[in-house]
Amino acid sequence: MELLDQISFNLQNGFDKIVASLTKDAVEKQIPPKEILSNGLIAGMNIVGEKFKNHDIFLPDVLLAARAMNGAMEVLKPLLIKEGIPIRGKVVIGSVKDDLHDIGKNLVAILLKGAGFEVIDLGNDVPAEKFISVAREENAHVIGMSALLTTTMPVMKKVVDLAKDEGLFGKIRIVIGGAPVSKEYALEIGADAYSYDGANAVETVESFFPANSQ
Amino acid sequence: MIVDFAPEDVDLDRAAILRSQGIPEEAEFTENFELIYEGAIELFQKLAEPAGIIVGITISEFKEVFRGEGLNEPENPVEDIYRKSSYLALFAVTLGPVLSSKVTGLFDNGDYASGYMLDSVSSYAADKLTDLAAQHLQSELAVKEPAASSWRVLSYSPGYCGWNISGQKKLFEVLHPEEIGITLNESCLMIPVKSLSGVLIAGAGEIHEFVNSYPFCDTCRTKSCIERMRDLK
Ligand code: B12
């Protein structure tokens, strides 16, 4: 099997250590990093995504593949940066203030990373101002917010309002999610989008970048 | 009364846990998946510290607790049900803080699949703990009151069925779940996260029946009332 196919195969099976070591081999064999990324890693992740959609595999399998992807990206990222290959987009994500629950947000962060986005995870209990200040400092393209209960949702509106006040609205896209959140709520507060699960979150964020989607 | 449960008391129904992850009954699994599932069950048995607090309350006292911050839906099923009850008790249950820190730890270490599975098993178990609290109350009641063995004890929680989540404040004031290590933050979120609270309503099975066509039923994410009412039969 060709090296990039091996990377894809092992990634699909969640063998993270093998994927990292094969990625290093590929770099040593002078395969261009962009090619390793597209024809090895992303090719593998695409198959994982398809199998997941068809119920051939389930979320834990996808998460194992995502871990393998992240490990390989540690190897590739410095090289991609050095070659000036643009990242797919930068997302600042967190669970809003007073929300100490973060599993949904974690899943979205992992799946976005797996899809090749750079993700800055602010954790949970994140004040509205912090979403804005970090997004500004990091020149992020997207802010993602998560909430578990209706009582923590108002922070989402605060972030949208702050983004408007600071002239970031339209420049930074805002996507929200979490069990009590809805499309209607996103519309009501003026967020750009709502996603009901991790796979949908990736599709939504991808839709913000039509030009460079893979 | 404080009740210490053991992790083994919780019936971890595999099919139900997988269903809660959206996995169909007839699914086939990879070897990795099986390992992760087994690992999560093992961790749960090792780390869960299930506990509950159950405190009896009169209908008139509960009226105040239920009113909470005055934000409940004007029409809701709980209001009708508790008035017809034979016995009421406030309750809170938790799986303790260690499980939640383990989930976070697994995610931080990049072990996302195990973290997700442990979280999912724990969420399911927290729900089951409420059933255990209800069973516990029922057997306590049956000792004093023979009729109680035919009663049905069901839980109702703030954040469900028109009982506004801000109702947690009054409930905590009266119940004191701090005694089993649960605290409430400004946003009415309980810490540890794998905790549940509410009222256990005991009475004849019929009192729990209602038509789920309230305006808020449309946006309810769980629709667990359907299954609960079916089980009454
Ligand atoms: C499992 C569950 C629990 C578990 C644990 C919760 C947890 N997550 O750890 C237990 C049983 C302990 C529990 C307890 C309670 N719960 Co509960 N719970 C649920 C349930 C059934 C699923 C939530 C869940 O964990 N899903 C799995 C995770 C992985 O999904 P997720 O967090 O939603 O994230 C996904 C998406 O939302 C999305 N997403 C999430 N964040 C983001 C961010 C971005 C940027 C994007 C794009 C997408 C995105 O992608 C994620 C991955 O797929 C929901 C109903 C539902 N079906 O959603 C109710 C629900 C959240 N609970 C509810 C309530 C009321 C409670 C309690 C207050 C009840 C009580 N009084 O005891 C307590 C509160 C607990 C606390 N600590 O304060 C209500 C909240 C309603 C409200 N008014 O706020 C809900 C909505 C049920 C309902 N009534 O319809 N709960």
Burial label, B124 (beta-carbon count in 10 A; 0-12, 13-18, 19+): buried
Quickly state the pLDDT bin for B25 (edges 50, 70, 90): confident
- Whether the bond between B192 and the residue before it is cis, its omega within 30 degrees of 0, is yes
Which is nearest to B88 in space by CA: B169, B213, B201, B220? B201
- Specify the DSSP element, H or E, that contains B196: strand B195-203
Q: Are residues A49 and A98 in the same domain?
A: no
Return the residue in B23, B35, B37, B189 with the most chain A beta carbons within 10 A, the one to mutate for interface testing: B189
Q: Do A63 and B112 touch (CB under 8 A)?
A: yes
- Distance from C-alpha of B85 to C-alpha of A92, rounded to nearest angstrom: 49
Q: Are residues A49 and A140 in the same domain?
A: no
Q: Do A58 and B221 touch (CB under 8 A)?
A: no
| Percentage above 70 pLDDT, chain B | 100
Which regions of A12-158 does DSSP assign to beta strands (E)?
90-95, 118-121, 142-146
CATH code of the domain in which A208 resides: 3.40.50.280
CATH code of the domain in which A53 resides: 1.10.1240.10
Q: Which residues of B touch A94 (CB under 8 A)?
A: none
Residue A213 has pLDDT above 50, yes or no: no
Q: What b-and-e string marks burial along B170-204, b requiring 16 or more CB atoms within 10 Å of the CB?
A: bbbeebebeebbbebbebbbbbbbbbbbbbbbbbe
- Closest atom of ligand 1 to A149 CA is 84
Q: Are residues A75 and A117 in the same domain?
A: no
* Pocket flag, ligand 1, residue A195 (CB < 6 Å): yes
The confidence score (pLDDT) of residue B27 equals 87
The confidence score (pLDDT) of residue B123 equals 96
Quickly state the pLDDT bin for A1 (edges 50, 70, 90): low
The confidence score (pLDDT) of residue A214 equals 44
Radius of gyration of chain A (CA): 18
| Domain's final residue, options A82, A116, A143 | A82
Closest partner CB to A103 (pick from B24, B33, B119): B119
Nearest CA to ligand 1 atom 37: A178
Q: Are residues A57 and A123 in the same domain?
A: no
* Pocket flag, ligand 1, residue A144 (CB < 6 Å): yes
ipTM given for this complex: 0.88
In Å, how far is B187's CA from the nearest CA of chain A?
A: 5
Structural domain boundaries enclosing A199? 90-212
Q: Are residues A107 and A208 in the same domain?
A: yes
Q: Are residues A31 and A65 in the same domain?
A: yes
Radius of gyration of chain B (CA): 18
Convert the pLDDT of each residue in A40-91 to its tens digit.
998 999 999 889 888 889 999 999 999 999 899 989 988 988 887 777 899 9
Q: What is the pLDDT averaged over residues B108-136?
A: 95
| Domain's final residue, options A56, A82, A108 | A82
Q: Are residues A78 and A164 in the same domain?
A: no
Distance A148 CA to ligand 1 centre (A): 5
Convert the pLDDT of each residue in B146-196 to its tens digit.
899 899 999 999 999 999 999 999 999 999 999 999 999 988 999 999 999
| Domain's final residue, options A61, A82, A103 | A82
Q: How many residues can be counted in chain A?
A: 214
Which CATH architecture best describes the domain B2-231?
3-Layer(aba) Sandwich (3.40)
Residue B231 has pLDDT above 70, yes or no: yes
Q: Do A98 and B107 touch (CB under 8 A)?
A: no
Distance A32 CA to ligand 1 centre (A): 43
Query: Which residue blocks in B59-189 are alpha helix, DSSP H?
Result: 59-67, 77-83, 97-108, 112-144, 168-175
Cβ(A90)–Cβ(A144) under 8 Å? no
Q: Are residues A103 and A162 in the same domain?
A: yes
Q: Are residues A36 and A94 in the same domain?
A: no
Convert the pLDDT of each residue in A89-128 to its tens digit.
999 999 999 887 788 999 999 999 888 888 999 998 899 9
Q: What is the pLDDT averaged over residues B22-26?
A: 86
Q: What is the pLDDT averaged over residues A196-210?
A: 90
Answer yes or no: pTM beyond 0.90: yes
Cβ(A142)–Cβ(A90) under 8 Å? yes
The confidence score (pLDDT) of residue B176 equals 96
Total domain count, chain A:
2
Domain-wise residue ranges, chain B: 2-231
Mean pLDDT computed over every residue of chain B: 93
